[in-house]
Amino acid sequence: MALLKTPDSNPIDYIDEEDFITLEIPHEVDGERLDKFLGGALPDYSRARLKTWVEEGAVMVDGVVVTKSRHLLRGGENIKVFPQEMPEQYAFAPENIPLDIVYEDEAIIVVNKPAGLVVHPAVGNWTGTLLNALLFHFPELKHLPRAGIVHRLDKDTSGLMVVARTDVAQTALVRQLQERTVGRRYLAWVWGEAPTQGKVLASVGRDQRDRLKMAAGSAQGKPAATLFRRLAKGEFAASPVTLLECRLETGRTHQIRVHLESLGLPLLGDPVYRKRTPGVAKSLPFERQALHAYALSLQHPTSLEIMTWFRLPPEDLIQLQSLTGMNEEDLPKEAALMASIKNDQR
């Protein structure tokens, strides 16, 4: 066993000798930076990853841990690199994360996703996702692409999602999404006075000035359509607030958030899309976009029955409803929703 030591000689871990990558430094590299040398000597690993390993204390030069990637080599040293586990290795690992299962049978699962839960592993969120939770509660999903996930909700958007449990169901659900026959209804609390109803037809694509955002009307974007109707009006600190029901005809990334902002109706609490957000928003005690997927309807992949699920918003949105001078009676009722959906299907 080799004892890893920090530069001040405090032991930090015990590592099996065979777990190291050992490199002998040629004398001609005198004066070369450690990170540059490692990048050339270990091309199977990215420069960024090697730099992180150095900073995490996973590289020893002549038996001493070096934590500065700019460390200058003198030539002739012995380097040992202990490859660290990559976070993406755990992207598809089952995790015992509680789930609110609204419905399940042999073909599909309907989940009420809480705000704060990422749907699918990606950079920055390799673990702790809905996918990890699904693999724990439904191990058979490991045999399906994306563990049966066919659509997403943003991390801080709560509400209903459907997950396929078989190949046949996944194919059928993807087809319905492509044909725009899946009914998805959202509750959105926005700043401003919205009209009684409306429809936004504007492409959604990457914002050319900020690649981390989406933008409405993007020339490179994809067609997108959002219908909305006003359910109630309220206010916060004398600034008008409107509760809207939104229906998606398409499902683009951040579609509702982008479309409503383009109308001058940004979501309460949205940290990204907030043009024309009033100054009083800084004092609003709500720290996520006020958006909840409250209703989902689709044709069951095997029985072909039209099925609908309904979930009122979580407690934080109920409190927001009260905070903005509205009440629970302004929220949609399940019976009225069912009647509306049947009318849409005629």
Choice between 162 and 215, residue whose per-residue pLDDT is larger: 162
Burial class (CB in 10 A: 0-12, 13-18, 19+), 313: buried
Residue in 35, 154, 156, 316 annotated catalytic: 154
Residues 6 and 155 in one domain: no
**With bands split at pLDDT 50, 70 and 90, how would you rate the model's confidence at 90?**
low
Q: Percent of the chain beyond pLDDT 90?
A: 59
- Model pLDDT, residue 14: 36
210 and 328 in a single domain? The answer is yes
Residues 246-284 pLDDT 10s? 999 888 889 999 999 999 999 999 999 999 899 999 999
Residue 330 annotated to the active site? no
Instruction: Tell me if the pTM is above 0.85.
Output: no
User: 304 and 216 in one domain?
Assistant: yes
Domain of residue 58 covers 2-84
157 & 189 share domain? no
- For residue 227, give the nearest of 342, 115, 340 by alpha carbon: 340
Could you tell me if 134 and 290 are in contact, meaning their C-beta atoms sit under 8 angstroms apart?
A: no
107 pLDDT band, cuts 50/70/90, is very high
pLDDT tier at 181, thresholds 50, 70, 90: very high
Same domain, 226 and 320: yes
Terminal Cα distance for the chain, rounded? 73
Q: Name the domain count of the chain.
A: 3
Q: Are residues 51 and 77 in the same domain?
A: yes
Q: For residue 43, what pLDDT band results from cuts at 50, 70 and 90? A: confident
| Same domain membership, residue 91 and residue 65 | no
CATH number (domain holding residue 75): 3.10.290.10
Q: What CATH number is associated with residue 261?
A: 3.30.2350.10
| 215 and 332, same domain (yes or no) | yes
Residues 231 and 270 in one domain: yes
For residue 147, pLDDT beyond 60: yes
**So what's the pLDDT on residue 254?**
94
Q: Are residues 222 and 232 in the same domain?
A: yes
Looking at the fold, whether 157 and 261 belong to one and the same domain comes out as: no
State the average pLDDT for the chain. 88
**Residue with more model confidence, 40 or 123:** 40
Residues 234 and 156 in one domain: no
